């Protein structure tokens, strides 16, 4: 039980360390790209860590199963349990499943960054003076209609 509580507390601390940024009312393209990059990095860490925990859980479960088989074949009673392996497997699977929403939100933030861009637009009105600029900086937002 102590190991389970320690594993759960470590998992919660790891999730608290994921860089979630507070979203302001107006975010720039760079903010969306940075947020997307941080979320993608966190998702890969969760996926990799979950895979390692899942593999370790299987190994621990299999080693206990092997001990039980040896005990049964030799005629000795084996009262061991593989709860540690089961706990590692469940926590690893949960971490891997927890990475899915981060991948999804990372993709949506990168799409928002693509739609929002700051660029120079050409000046389409006639220029009565030669000193007027040929283009002006503008913030454009592309709205897909499909």
Integer Cα distance of 14 and 19 in angstroms: 10
Please, which residues have CB within 8 angstroms of residue 36's CB and are 6 or more apart in sequence? 106, 107, 109, 110, 113
Q: Is residue 70 part of a domain?
A: yes
Is the confidence at residue 74, as pLDDT, over 60? no
Q: For residue 77, how many other CB atoms are within 10 A of its CB?
A: 6
Q: Find the length of the chain.
A: 146
Report the chain's mean pLDDT, rounded to a whole number: 76
Total of domains in the chain: 1
Q: If you average pLDDT over residues 14-41, what whole number do you get?
A: 73
Distance between CA atoms of residues 85 and 27, nearest Å: 44
78-119 tens-digit pLDDT: 555 567 788 888 999 999 999 999 999 998 888 887 776 667
Report the range out of 33-42, 56-65, 73-82 with the highest average pLDDT.
33-42
7 in a structural domain:
no
* 103 in a structural domain: yes
Burial of 120 (0-12, 13-18, 19+ CB in 10 A): exposed
Q: Which domain holds residue 37?
A: 27-117
Average pLDDT over residues 41-64: 89
83 located within any domain: yes
The answer to whether the pTM exceeds 0.85 is no
Q: Looking at residue 136, what DSSP letter applies?
A: E
The answer to whether residue 140 sits within a structural domain is no
pLDDT score of 27 = 74
């Amino acid at each position: 039980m102590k190991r389970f509580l320690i594993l759960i507390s470590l998992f919660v601390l790891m999730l608290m360390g994921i860089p979630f940024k507070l979203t302001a009312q107006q975010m720039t393209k760079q903010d969306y790209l940075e947020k997307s990059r941080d979320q993608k990095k966190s998702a890969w860490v969760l996926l990799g860590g979950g895979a390692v925990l899942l593999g370790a859980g299987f190994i621990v479960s299999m080693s206990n199963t092997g001990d039980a088989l040896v005990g049964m074949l030799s005629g000795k009673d084996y009262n061991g349990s593989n709860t540690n392996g089961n706990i590692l497997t469940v926590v690893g699977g949960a971490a891997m499943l927890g990475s899915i929403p981060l991948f999804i939100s990372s993709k949506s933030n990168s799409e928002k960054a693509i739609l929002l861009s700051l660029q120079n637009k050409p000046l389409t009105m006639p220029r009565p003076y030669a000193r007027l600029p040929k283009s002006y900086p503008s913030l454009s937002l592309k709205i897909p209609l499909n």
